[in-house]
Amino acid sequence: MGSLISAHFCAVVPNFKVMEIDIDDVRWKDDIVTKPPVIENGDLLLPTGPGWGADVNEDFVRAHPPR
């Protein structure tokens, strides 16, 4: 979710140049949101849905409570 929020912020900053994203993070990172980030030709594509373009996948979060 943080990557999507950062991408939206970067999209509106007029002098923005580069945003880093760790694509080799934990394997379940994309499962925590309803629409994971899409990287195409080295560019992170902004999702077109409302808000940040994705929501927290509450079913996944409930299935993996904190210890």
pLDDT of residue 49: 87
Mean pLDDT of the chain: 90
Quote the CA–CA distance of 13 and 34 in Å, as a whole number: 26
Joined tokens for residue 10: 């970067």
pLDDT in tens, 36-52: 889 999 888 998 889 89
pLDDT in tens, 16-38: 989 888 888 888 889 999 998 89
pLDDT of residue 1: 80
pTM of this prediction? 0.75
Is residue 1 within 8 A of residue 36, CB to CB? The reply is no
Joined tokens for residue 27: 């394997």
Question: With 90 as the cut, is the pLDDT of residue 67 above it?
Answer: no
